[in-house]
Amino acid sequence: MLKFVKENLETIVGIELYPIISLLIFFTFFVALFWWVMTYNKKNIKFLSELPLEQKKEDKQ
């Protein structure tokens, strides 16, 4: 099965470009996500992390 797929892929012109493009998209996405997480406003993170606790307190009262 792999031999059949490999032979067909080798006949397609320009197919070697797709794995490179996929890797660049993958790498760019995760670098951008990492940058966004590291630069996110710390006050917002604290506020968002306390939301579930505040909702539970309101439910008990």
Tell me the per-residue pLDDT of 17-48, one tens digit each, with 9 for 90 and over. 988 999 999 999 999 999 999 999 999 989 88
Unique residue bearing structure tokens 């439910």: 59
pLDDT at 31: 98
Name the strand (E) or helix (H) holding 14: none
Nearest Cα residue to 32 out of 22, 40, 43, 44:
40
* Alpha-carbon span 28 to 7, nearest angstrom: 31
* Predicted TM-score of the model (pTM): 0.58
* Alpha-carbon span 32 to 23, nearest angstrom: 14
Nearest Cα residue to 39 out of 49, 47, 31:
31
Q: Where are the domains of the chain?
A: 18-60
Whether the pLDDT of residue 16 is over 80: the answer is yes
* Alpha-carbon span 22 to 15, nearest angstrom: 12
The mean pLDDT of 7-17, rounded to a whole number, is: 83
